[in-house]
Structure formats: structure tokens, C-alpha cells
Structure 1
Amino acid sequence: MSAFSNPSARKLASRGAGAVTAVVFAGLLLSGCGAGTESGDAAKTPASSTDRAFNDADVTFAQAMIPHHQQALEMARLANGRAEDAGVKKIVADVEKAQDPEIRTMRSWLKAWGKPEAPAAPEGSAASGGHGGGHGGGGDAGGSMAGMMSEQDMKELAALRGKAFDRKFAELMIAHHEGAVEMAEAERKNGRDATARKLADDVVRTQSAEITELKKILGRL
């Protein structure tokens, strides 16, 4: 007689098969959960600025370009009620449109990187209580920033109106933009953060074009 012709044997066999099925199903569930966790972790990898790789050149670029942009915006604000040339007014509008958002972007990088907005003042500088300092036109983005105007430059610009203002504005903004392009070129060469280097590309492209326009304006004034 077959073992399975006995009702009790059939019941035991059925229970055994059910137990095996339950174990296999539980195993599949566990392996499925494991796979889901791995893909979830992989999905979390990059994108946020805190995860991006950066170096000292990126930090220096942001710390130097923020006040550089701020001064360009100060110069642009002086054009209100003083500028006469349509070309100058267009440059002013372009500066305000581009550089204010860029300042906010660079501040967000520094915050994400855990870095201060302003670098520590070098020994002997005016900011550290020593001598020297000032805006000057040095090429080192981490020290005196290229193309920055002095307080006297800004006072002289504010005192002008009409064509005299347009001429002085164009002269100063050319020098200012050339300094920004110099710093952006250094970032493109030495920076590591892809987003910072992209912004440097934008600075070189847009401000080089504006330099060309400002030189044309000077030629006709």
C-alpha cells in the first residue's frame, strides 16, 4: 500500500510541503529587500553640492568672485540717473541680471562646503591690522583681487553724469571684467568642482563679450 493512501500520511506530507514553500518565500522576500536597499543607496549617491568633490581653487574662486561681483553691482547701480549711452545701459542691465544670481549660487557652494564667505586676511594686510591691502589690481584672486576699483575710483565715478559717466564707467568696467576673466581662467585651469568650473566658463564667455562691447562704446564716445 502507498504511504499516501493513508490520510494521516497525506496530511503530514502536505504540512511539510507548506513549510518548505513558506521558507522559500521568506528567503525570496529577504533577498528582495536586500536588493532594494542596495539600489536605494546607489540612487542616493551624487548630485547635492555637499557630495561634490572640490578643492582649494574652487573655494578661492567663490570667495574672491563674490566681492568682485558685488562691486560690479555697485558700479551698475551708480548708472541709475547718471548713464546716458544706450550701450552702457544695456551692459548695466546685463551685469545686474547675471551677477546677483551668481553671488547667491557661490554663497550656497561655500555653505555646503563648510567654508566661510571671506578668506582669512593675510598677515600684514589692512584687514588684519597691518599695512597694505586696498583694492588694487593684483592678479592673485586670494589676495588683492584683479580689476577691483579703489574707493577713489568709485567716488570719481559717482561724481560724473552723462557722457563723462559713460566713458569712465566703460573704462572701469573693462578693467573690472578683465580681472574677473583672469580669476575665472584660473578656476578653469585649477578647480575641481564641475559646477564651479561651469560658472567660470560662463564668466569668461559673457564678460569677454561685454569687454568687446565696452571697447566699442569707448570708441564712439
Structure 2
Amino acid sequence: MNRRIPVGRACAATLMVAGLALAGAPAAVADGSGEFDEKEFLTMTVDHHFGGVRVAELCVDKATRADLKGLCGKIEREQSEQVGTMRSWLRTWYGTDETPSVPPETRPMLEELSGLSGRTFDVALSRHFAQHHREFLPDADKCRKHAKHAELRALCDRMYETQAEEIGKFEAVIAGKPITVNTGQGGLAAASAKDDSAGTAGWLAAGGVAAALGTAVLGRRMRRQ
């Protein structure tokens, strides 16, 4: 004799099975990451980085702060290298290439910055670059989680972490605060043009103290003789 299962219990059991199935499903199914297109990301990022390199070159040429110049020089070198790497992956993995070009949204930025100078340039450049990075972070985050190739996931993870950190540095420049930049090969860029006089005064003061101490020591030696 078949026992009838109450409808409520049957629905609960069905929902439980469905929940267990979803829990065990790959993350790509659960969060829609199957939509990530690796080739499209590479193509887009080549141009995005190329635009960033052009802005960084302008910054190195026009920025008044040594630390900002150092940050832009670092971005210029790193993103130029990454453009070459991603183009090589496009050729190897997909049999295609992307000739770098400045994205349409970056061109007005370059035109605006070309007409600015002094601290006005430094602040406008920093605002634009911070926004440039913020717009890229969601794509980099999706890439580092869902790209098919491990080397691309590693690159996207590095780009995400680096650009998130650089946003903070650009915000510091906007606020008029100094930053420290590792320019590579052990070099650091920390001094700003605004603070050069203060730094020079500090060195002169330190030199004056050293000179005074040296004179005192010499005087004591002469008295002993």
C-alpha cells in the first residue's frame, strides 16, 4: 500500500535537493561568471592600458611633483610591458592581435591635461588617473577569478592590487600629501616639488648642526693642546 506524502513535505524535499545541487555547482554557474570573455577582456585591456601609458607619459613630462612623476613613470613602464604580454597571449591563444589605440573616452582627458600646468595639472591628472583605475577594477576582479588561463588570472590579480594601491596614492596627491613610490631596482621617489624647499632647509639645518658640533670638538682639542 502506497503512502501519500504530504504536498508540503514534498516541496520542502525538492527545495532541499535543489539547494544541495546549487551548493555543489561550480562558482561560474552560481554567479554568472560564465559570461566572462577572455579574448574580449584582453582586447579591451590592451587599449585601456595604452591610453593609460599616454596619460602617464604626459604626467612624467609635466608634473611638478617628483613623487607624482615617479608614480607615473612606474605606471608607464608596467602597463607598456603588460600591453606586450597581453598581445602575445592574444596571438598564442586566439590567433589574433590588437593594435593598441587610445580609447575614445581617454582622448578628451589628454586634451584637457595638455592645456594645464603646475598644481592644477597635478590634481587634474591624479583625479583622472584615479577614475581611470576605478573603472578598470571590476573587470580586473572578474578576470582574476574567472579567466581560463592561470597566467592571465595571476596578471589580473596583480593589476587589481596595484591599481587599488595607486588610487590611494593619487588621492593623497589631490590632498596635497606626499607619497612614496618604488620606482624599481630599489629606487624610491618620495620628495615633491612643493616640499623641496622644506627638504633643502632640513638638510641645511642638519648640516649646520653637524658643523657646529665639529667646531665644538675642534675647540676642545685646541684647548687641550
Q: Does TM, scored on the shorter chain, surpass 0.5?
A: yes
For 1:220, what is the secondary structure of its paired residue?
Answer: coil
Q: In structure 1, list runs of 5 or more residues that go unmatched.
A: 1-54, 120-133, 137-148
- Which residue number corresponds to residue 88 of structure 2? 108
- Which residue number corresponds to residue 201 of structure 1? 157
- Which residue number corresponds to residue 37 of structure 2? 57
Residue number among 164, 174, 180 corresponding to 2:120 in the alignment: 164
For 1:81, what is the secondary structure of its paired residue?
Answer: helix
Contact 1:73 1:100 in 2 (8 A): yes
Contact 2:60 2:73 in 1 (8 A): no
- Which residue number corresponds to residue 204 of structure 2? none
Contact 2:53 2:75 in 1 (8 A): yes
Counterpart CA distance in 2 for 1:91 and 1:81 is 12
Residue number among 187, 191, 201 corresponding to 2:143 in the alignment: 187
- Which residue number corresponds to residue 62 of structure 2? 82
Shift of 1:194: 0.3
Shift of 1:135: 3.8
- Which residue number corresponds to residue 213 of structure 1? 169
1:109-128 maps to which residues of 2 (within 5 A)?
Answer: 109-118=89-98
Contact 2:144 2:155 in 1 (8 A): no
Contact 1:59 1:115 in 2 (8 A): no
Percent identity, aligned pairs only, is: 26
Contact 1:180 1:203 in 2 (8 A): no
Shift of 1:114: 2.7
Counterpart CA distance in 1 for 2:154 and 2:80 is 17
For 2:84, what is the secondary structure of its paired residue?
Answer: helix
Contact 1:177 1:207 in 2 (8 A): yes
Counterpart CA distance in 2 for 1:188 and 1:94 is 22
For 2:37, what is the secondary structure of its paired residue?
Answer: helix
Runs of 4+ in structure 1 over 4 Å off: none
1:161-196 CA distances to partner (integer Å, 9 max, x unpaired)? 121110110000001111222211121232111000
Counterpart CA distance in 2 for 1:76 and 1:204 is 18
Change (3 A) 1:189 1:172: same
Residue number among 70, 73, 78 corresponding to 2:50 in the alignment: 70
Shift of 1:118: 4.3
Counterpart CA distance in 1 for 2:46 and 2:111 is 21
Shift of 1:56: 6.0
Change (3 A) 1:81 1:191: closer
Counterpart CA distance in 2 for 1:104 and 1:214 is 25
Query: Which shows bigger deviation, 169-178 or 83-92?
Result: 83-92
Change (3 A) 1:118 1:101: closer
Change (3 A) 1:87 1:80: closer
Name the aligned partner's letter for residue 208 of structure 1.
A
